[in-house]
Chain A
Amino acid sequence: QVQLQQWGAGLLKPSETLSLTCAVYDDSLLGYYWTWIRQPPEKGLEWVGEINDGGRTNYNPSLKSRVTISVDTSKKQFSLKLNSVTAADTAVYFCAREANGAFEIWGQGTMVTVSP
């Protein structure tokens, strides 16, 4: 069964760069879009962006100027970088596999806190 395992720094200072990675186990990266979604504390889900195995990306317009999503097919990993973070970027970040217009498999989530 496909599993996503994610990791990255959980505590950042304002203006630093958030960096998270998600590894895909027991399946290939090929043929899917791979997505990042975040959830601020006590708030709803927000789609951050996606990438396919060919490196094609789509980003949330509200984050587009600060976000980069990349993929390493040889390692079966994809990554999120969000620069110039502020307290508003404090959230649980999830990676997910997208298929048929839905997010069918999710990572366990990583809490990222931005604090001076």
Chain B
Amino acid sequence: QSALTQPASVSGSPGQSITISCIGTNSDLGVYNYVSWYQQHPGKAPKFLIYHVTDRPSGVSNRFSGSKSGNTASLTISGLQAEDEADYYCSAYTTSRTYVFGTGTRVTVL
């Protein structure tokens, strides 16, 4: 199974909005809505941000939002803050009853 495709890096200024794309196939993103997103700061375990494409677990800021169209999912971070500087990963369930992660995106706050 191939990793989902994410841009290597995205940057923005404080207060701006940025969007990270996650491109899959008809065997994963195109089939199920089991799409999730994670934030990872250096040396830390990933933090769960989004599930079911758009849903946020309790405690996650509403500045994080998810969407999906066809084989592409997206994570938008609005009102960018310095603490948002981290790596972000998408994940999707596949028709093989496995999970696949995205290649990861480094977000830089300018």
Residues of chain A whose beta carbon lies under 8 Å from any beta carbon of chain B: 35, 37, 44-47, 50, 58-62, 94, 100-109
Q: Are B98 and A106 in contact (CB under 8 A)?
A: no
Which of B9-17, B44-52, B71-79 interfaces with chain A? B44-52
Residues of chain B whose beta carbon lies under 8 Å from any beta carbon of chain A: 1, 3, 32-36, 38, 45-48, 50-52, 55, 57, 89, 91, 93, 96-104
Q: Are A100 and B52 in contact (CB under 8 A)?
A: yes
Q: Are B101 and A102 in contact (CB under 8 A)?
A: no
List 6 interface pairs A-B (beta carbons < 8 Å), by A numbering. Answer: A35-B99, A45-B46, A45-B104, A47-B101, A102-B91, A108-B45
Q: How many A-B residue pairs have CB under 8 A?
A: 67
B73 CB to nearest A CB, Å: 12
With a cutoff of 8 Å between Cβ atoms, the chain B residues found around residue A104 in the complex are 48, 51, 57
Q: Are B93 and A106 in contact (CB under 8 A)?
A: no
